[in-house]
Amino acid sequence: MSLRTLQKWHGAGNDFLVDVVEPGEGVWWNGARARRVCDRSFGVGADGLLVATLGAPVTMVLYNADGGVAEMSGNGIRCLAAAVRRATKADWDALDVLTDAGERRVELTMDGDAGYGRVDMGEVTFAPTLTGALGVANVGNPHVVVLDDETWDDDAREQRASSWAEQLGGANVEFATVLDPSRARIRVIERGVGWTLACGTGSVATAAVLHREGLAQAEVTIENPGGDLMVKLGPDGTSLAGPVQFVADVQWLES
């Protein structure tokens, strides 16, 4: 049996369990254990599990709720940085994090257990558009951006999302509504998670596709069900900004 001490955080409702570990501690987490702890009925419950290994840079491993490994999370990396700051009792305002999508810098301002962070998200790349979608973008992980249709119910959205994601071997699907050139609203079916209250990489992908299509400006607020995220697109890369909130310390006993 092993007792793990975890922190639970969320970014605009996108919630994560974070295990901050020392270098050389070894790999303990795997997909099956991550799936059990993230289960909302039989575990603690979360959209994902983040493992932060201390070092320069800190490394991030992200397990989705289904136990699959994901390359990047714009909300998750802010939560991870805040958890590292809290675990190490540090007062820095910037942290370099090595993810499977590359190294990212997180700028973080904290006030007690709440804060606001900005993340360098790197380059957004586009792939050929799938039939019925507005665009396909990669933000370290793959996304299909679709203009939402109010005549669809959620069953119809889920069926369409499954078809688009299958064509890419797995992808997040964003259903977007343009409110004006500076603001859009999305609902997201996230790979390995399902419907989620917020998606950082999905917000970036949506902003990039809408901007490419002339539907949004380079700085745009993306309304997620759990809160607003800010995206800035530029020639030198893209940034994402949004909140972080500590929820609880958790002890998880696992065989």
Q: Give the per-residue pLDDT at 235.
A: 86
Percent of the chain with pLDDT over 90: 95
User: Would you place residue 237 in the very low, low, confident or very high pLDDT band (cuts 50, 70, 90)?
Assistant: confident
pLDDT, mean of residues 98-113: 96
* CB-CB neighbours of 166 under 10 Å: 10
SS3 24: coil
170 and 208 fall within a common domain: yes
Do residues 90 and 192 share a domain?
A: no
Residue 131 sits in the same domain as residue 88: no
pLDDT at 254: 87
According to the model, what pLDDT value does residue 255 have? 73
Are 64 and 126 contained in the same domain? no
Do 79 and 168 belong to one domain?
no
pLDDT of 217 over the 80 cut = yes
The mean pLDDT of 139-168, rounded to a whole number, is 96
**Amino acid 110: pLDDT:** 97
Please provide residue 77's backbone torsions phi and psi, each rounded to the nearest 5 degrees. -70, -30
Query: In the chain, how many domains are there?
Result: 2
The pLDDT > 70 percentage for the chain reads: 100
Give yes or no: residues 146 and 73 share one domain: no
pLDDT at position 25: 85
Separation CA 86–CA 244 (nearest Å): 12
pLDDT for position 26: 79
247 and 146 in a common domain: no
Confidence of residue 141 (pLDDT cuts 50, 70, 90): very high
Q: Which tens digit of pLDDT belongs to each residue from 45-81?
A: 999 999 999 999 999 999 999 999 999 999 999 999 9
In this predicted structure, the answer to whether residue 84 has a pLDDT above a threshold of 90 is yes
- 154 and 193 part of one domain: yes
Distance, in Å, from the CA atom of 200 to the CA atom of 74, rounded to the nearest integer, reads: 4
**For residue 17, how far is the Cα from the chain centroid?**
13
Q: pLDDT tens across 224-235, in order?
A: 999 999 999 998
Q: What is the pLDDT of residue 199?
A: 96
Q: Is the pLDDT of residue 104 over 80?
A: yes
Averaged pLDDT of the chain = 96
For the chain, strand residue ranges (E) read 2-11, 14-21, 48-53, 58-64, 69-70, 94-99, 102-111, 114-122, 125-127, 135-138, 142-147, 172-180, 183-190, 194-196, 219-224, 227-234, 237-254
- Stretch 180-207: mean pLDDT: 97
Do 105 and 153 fall within a single domain?
A: no
Are 99 and 210 within one domain?
Answer: no
* pTM as predicted: 0.93
- CA 101 – CA 173 distance, rounded (Å): 19
Residues 38 and 85 in one domain: yes
Q: Is the pLDDT of residue 216 over 90?
A: yes
CATH of the domain at 74: 3.10.310.10
pLDDT at 1 over 90: no
- CA-closest candidate to residue 169, choices 127, 205, 209: 127
